[in-house]
Structure 1
Amino acid sequence: MGFTLLDGIVIVLYLIAVAFFGIWSAGKQKTSTDYFLGGRNMPWWAILFSVVATETSTLTFISIPAVAYGGDLTFLQLTFGYILGRIIVAVWFLPAYVKGEMTTAYQFLEQRFGSGLRKAAGSTFIITRLLADGVRLFATAIPLAIIFRFAGLFDSWGDGSLYLLAITVIAAVTLVYTFIGGIRAVIWMDVVQMVVYLGGALFALLLMVGKIPLTGSEITAFLSAENKMRLFNWGTDLGIREILANPYVFWVSLFGGAIFSIASHGTDQLIVQRLLATGDVKSSRKALIWSGFAASAQFAFFLFIGLMLYVFYQGAGLEELNLRTTDEIFARFIVDQMPPGVAGLIIASLFAAAMSSLSSSLNALASSTTYDLLKPVFGTDWDGEKELWISRLTTIFWGLMLSGSAFLFTWLQLSGDDQPAVVELGLGIASYTYGGLLGIFVLGRLFAKPDKTDAMVGFFSGLISLLFMVEGALQQYIPGEGLTVAWPLYTFAGAVIVVAVANGSYYFRKAFRN
């Protein structure tokens, strides 16, 4: 059906409404606590929706259908580990954060190991978010770039230019209400937009199924014949090295997913900031645990959409569909098949959900920068008004930096033919640095003897060691075959190295002193 002027008008009006609602829902921000923690009185169910929308909205909508279209359902195994990991965080991590009335996750490290490690951990979080959320922002630009291309807009522009334009539009609108409204605006926008984008995706799915000229049994038979229905991969035909390198073997997915979730929801300021906004442990636990089940159900829903897209397009390849990457498949269906006006509404809801995720990143980056890096050095004489002003300036700074990161990943993803799905790229980046962060938190909670020097040695040893395990350009310079592990295991490997090296450093230094 194509993309019409009515769809364009719907998108513009929707984005304007989103910006105004975000600002209105925030109320008046008087202090940095209001700006970053919503006054510590946000309802737990709003936090639940915010956590799910923040971690999955953009990449789920765009890339999870692509995962199923290009593969099968084994990605869902990871979500079982996610649920297990969140339960562990709820029991083990949250009491220390909430009862201590902390503003960032890394204040715990300062209490245990000193300000140096807090700054190192905060800096690692910032670098991780800059890269991983650059991928997220790139993903949000995919449907808008497709609209420009298939609607005949900017015909003389190349793929890269279209993506850069889309990224700029999304980042600019997001920055407006994040700068003004802070975390309260972000959370309430997450609640609204999760409902909207799931409703839009459901409408698209129902329309798609109605256009498929097959019965339910015929669809199942077709998908089974194409080996698309597999949910569990037990890896019984693989050797140990192959299992460790395969992210979708069940035990790797379950264990790696649990460890990843412990790190992402127990040490990442992006999520911890929301959990601190409830103000009490019981509410934080309910929000966190139930978010695991909601996220798993959402992954299953979008994987199912990917299967239906495979049936609808009869497994057509990228060249046949005139697509640049597999991640464009669902957006292509929306642009081509949705009725006028409805396509615009669904794309607009996707943009708004994407912007809520981006605004979450901006607010978390600004809070960690302000509390973990700037305030300990320069903020001894800051009053509430100045602290709020500094917080907003850092929000603008990170808006510009995240846009630059997204530009970088646009170039990387469009420069080759064999690129991973965006969701796998984003999770792989996050998994890399989560290992160091999780290891240092485990060290602080379970091992009393290592001091700040041991912790620092272990922390950076974990980060550096992973360079030799992550499959990439660096491995060509390493003698021998090397050890390649699947990205869900990056976190576990990094954490083990941190704990082992830090304890080894303690005993070595103790022996040397004696």
Structure 2
Amino acid sequence: MEFSFVDYAVILVYLVGVAYIGVRIAGRQSSTADYFLGGHDIPWWAVLFSVVATETSTLTFISVPAVAYGGNLTFLQITLGYIVGRIIVSLLFLPSYVDGNMTTAYQFLKERFGNSMRNAASTTFMVTRLLADGVRLFATAIPLAIIMRLGGAFVGWTDFEVYLLAIAAIAVVTLIYTLIGGIKAVVWMDVMQMAVYVGGAVFAGAIMISNLPEGIGGALNLAAETDKLQVIRFGFDLTFAEFIAQPYTFFTALIGGAVFSVASHGTDQLIVQRLLTTRNTKNSQKALVWSGVVVALQFGLFLFIGLLLYAFYDAQSATELGLATNDEIFAKFIVEELPMGFSGLIVASLFAAAMSSLSSSLNSLASSTTFDLYKPYFGKGNTQDEDLYVSRIITVVWAIILTGSAFFFAFLQLQEGERPAVVELGLGIASYTYGGLLGAFLLGRLFAKPDKRDAMIGFFAGLTSLLFMVEGPIHNLLPGEPLAIAWPLYTVVGSLIVVIVGSLSAQIRNR
């Protein structure tokens, strides 16, 4: 079965409907507070689902099944750390943000260390979002690219050319949606879209099970025979160098996942902005902590989908299936195996959810640029209308930049050789810069002596040090056998270096 005209019609109607409903829900924005913070009047449960949809929708739907398809279930260990990290953020960070009436996460750093530290953190956030969301946008284009290839209208096109067209189409629609709707439309559409795409995944799983000769039992038996059911791995049989380089051992995943979650949900404007849209601190805390539980359940669902796919396609590799990467396997099933109309609905919900995530990125990047970099220096005398106009221009600029970043990652992922799952690539990028951000926040919250100079020294020491511990161009130039660490440890090591170096600097300078 191939993608039909009915499926294309479903996608078009769904996307138009989502955009229309989103605009109607959002209403008219009269200020940047409306545009970026929804007037601080969004229910906590809506923010909960919005947080989940924003951080996992596209990468979960596409790439997490690929993790199980090519490996096992040890990725699930990280979700335990995610829950622990969210609890820490709700107690340590959120009261300062909500009670302090802050518009971005980085205003705390301004109050503690001054403008220079806030600017450095805000810029680091922007670079992180540029790279990580470039991966996210590329991942979103995967199913659309497969549809284009299967439709037969793009015969003779290279994979890279198809991805460029898919990415551009998604970016253009998302930009329009973001400019009109603002954060309130994004949050409420996330709630609806999450229900649709999770329901679609469950439906796809049911179709797979019904088409397996031996049903769930057969799929689980095959997974057991190929060691795919392993959830916990302590890794005590590994050498030290192997242990710290392996991302899915229990303690690495638990500690790394917790610290990553503290950084991503306590210092990343993408998530903090959502938590600031609730009515009070208690509501923000409920939304954040319960989002960790929902994320864990969602990871479990999509890893299980990966096991079903492994049985459905009889353990064939991506190459044997005629695909460029493992990340395309679930999209292939959606396009080729689901009944007419249902393929279109699931792909449409995936696109819509992904566009909401992208619009969240655009909105958070624009808010950080406006409040942290533009407003303090160039817009002090602006009216609310002028600020809103500038914010929308900044949103357009970021849309263009993010699209270019997605083009770049499409090029990288389609090169010859072994490639990581897109979800691992995206999390690895975010983990690298989160270490410096989290370290700066911890230095400000837990230590009284360090000043802005100590914070800046520690911040850049953390970012620079990681270059020598992450496999890459600099790492490859080091003599002998350089030490490499797994991506869940990037944030742990980076934040520790910031705190230690910043504290030592304060001690030395205050003698």
Give TM-score scaled by structure 2 length. Answer: 0.99
| Equivalent position SS for 1:319 | coil
Give the whole-Å Cα distance in 2 for the aligned partners of 1:416 and 1:42.
46
Instruction: Name 1:228's counterpart in structure 2.
Output: 228
Letter in 1 for 2:193: Q
User: Offset of 1:319 from its aligned partner?
Assistant: 2.1
Instruction: Name 1:170's counterpart in structure 2.
Output: 170
| Equivalent position SS for 1:418 | coil
Contact 1:19 / 1:174 at 8 angstroms: preserved in 2? no
The C-alpha deviation readout for 1:282-313, integer Å capped at 9, x for no partner, is 00000000000000000000000000000111
Gaps of 5+ in 1: none
User: Offset of 1:215 from its aligned partner?
Assistant: 4.2
Give the whole-Å Cα distance in 1 for the aligned partners of 2:234 and 2:479.
32
| Equivalent position SS for 1:321 | coil
Instruction: Name 1:497's counterpart in structure 2.
Output: 497
Q: How does 1:68-467 map to 2 (within 5 A)?
A: 68-467=68-467
Give the whole-Å Cα distance in 1 for the aligned partners of 2:473 and 2:188.
42
Distance 1:216 1:412, change over 3 A: closer
Instruction: Name 1:8's counterpart in structure 2.
Output: 8
The C-alpha deviation readout for 1:153-174, integer Å capped at 9, x for no partner, is 2112110010010001111111
User: Offset of 1:413 from its aligned partner?
Assistant: 0.4
Contact 1:94 / 1:285 at 8 angstroms: preserved in 2? yes
Comparing 11-20 with 463-472, which one deviates more in the overlay? 11-20
Give the whole-Å Cα distance in 2 for the aligned partners of 1:416 and 1:366.
36
Give the whole-Å Cα distance in 1 for the aligned partners of 2:31 and 2:509.
45
Letter in 2 for 1:261: S
The C-alpha deviation readout for 1:96-115, integer Å capped at 9, x for no partner, is 00000000000000000001
Give the whole-Å Cα distance in 1 for the aligned partners of 2:476 and 2:78.
29
Contact 2:133 / 2:361 at 8 angstroms: preserved in 1? yes
User: Offset of 1:136 from its aligned partner?
Assistant: 0.1
The C-alpha deviation readout for 1:315-356, integer Å capped at 9, x for no partner, is 101222100000000000011101111111111110001101
Give the whole-Å Cα distance in 2 for the aligned partners of 1:96 and 1:27.
30
Contact 2:43 / 2:279 at 8 angstroms: preserved in 1? no
Contact 2:80 / 2:257 at 8 angstroms: preserved in 1? yes
**RMSD of aligned alpha carbons:** 0.9
User: Offset of 1:279 from its aligned partner?
Assistant: 2.8
Letter in 2 for 1:161: E
Contact 1:19 / 1:173 at 8 angstroms: preserved in 2? no
Comparing 43-52 with 472-481, which one deviates more in the overlay? 472-481
Give the whole-Å Cα distance in 1 for the aligned partners of 2:2 and 2:209.
19
Give the whole-Å Cα distance in 2 for the aligned partners of 1:355 and 1:280.
28
Instruction: Name 1:64's counterpart in structure 2.
Output: 64
Give the whole-Å Cα distance in 2 for the aligned partners of 1:461 and 1:383.
40
Give the whole-Å Cα distance in 1 for the aligned partners of 2:140 and 2:401.
16
Give the whole-Å Cα distance in 1 for the aligned partners of 2:418 and 2:126.
29
Letter in 1 for 2:307: L
Letter in 2 for 1:56: T
| Equivalent position SS for 1:318 | coil
Distance 1:7 1:374, change over 3 A: same
Contact 2:436 / 2:494 at 8 angstroms: preserved in 1? yes
Instruction: Name 1:25's counterpart in structure 2.
Output: 25
User: Offset of 1:52 from its aligned partner?
Assistant: 0.1
Give the whole-Å Cα distance in 1 for the aligned partners of 2:442 and 2:149.
49
Gaps of 5+ in 2: none
User: Offset of 1:45 from its aligned partner?
Assistant: 0.4
Give the whole-Å Cα distance in 2 for the aligned partners of 1:281 and 1:440.
22
Give the whole-Å Cα distance in 2 for the aligned partners of 1:346 and 1:181.
23
Give the whole-Å Cα distance in 2 for the aligned partners of 1:335 and 1:400.
29
Instruction: Name 2:35's counterpart in structure 1.
Output: 35
Letter in 2 for 1:362: L
Give the whole-Å Cα distance in 1 for the aligned partners of 2:281 and 2:352.
30
The C-alpha deviation readout for 1:432-452, integer Å capped at 9, x for no partner, is 000000000000001110110
| Equivalent position SS for 2:214 | coil
Give the whole-Å Cα distance in 1 for the aligned partners of 2:217 and 2:396.
53
Give the whole-Å Cα distance in 2 for the aligned partners of 1:224 and 1:101.
52
Distance 1:16 1:217, change over 3 A: closer
Give the whole-Å Cα distance in 2 for the aligned partners of 1:417 and 1:203.
34
Give the whole-Å Cα distance in 1 for the aligned partners of 2:215 and 2:137.
38
Contact 1:124 / 1:433 at 8 angstroms: preserved in 2? yes
Letter in 2 for 1:75: F
The C-alpha deviation readout for 1:8-46, integer Å capped at 9, x for no partner, is 111112111122122111111000000000000100000
Letter in 2 for 1:417: G
| Equivalent position SS for 2:228 | coil
| Equivalent position SS for 1:391 | helix
Instruction: Name 2:44's counterpart in structure 1.
Output: 44
Give the whole-Å Cα distance in 1 for the aligned partners of 2:151 and 2:69.
24
Contact 2:246 / 2:486 at 8 angstroms: preserved in 1? yes
Give the whole-Å Cα distance in 1 for the aligned partners of 2:275 and 2:298.
20
Residues paired across the two proteins, number: 511
Instruction: Name 2:482's counterpart in structure 1.
Output: 482
Identity of aligned pairs, percent? Answer: 61
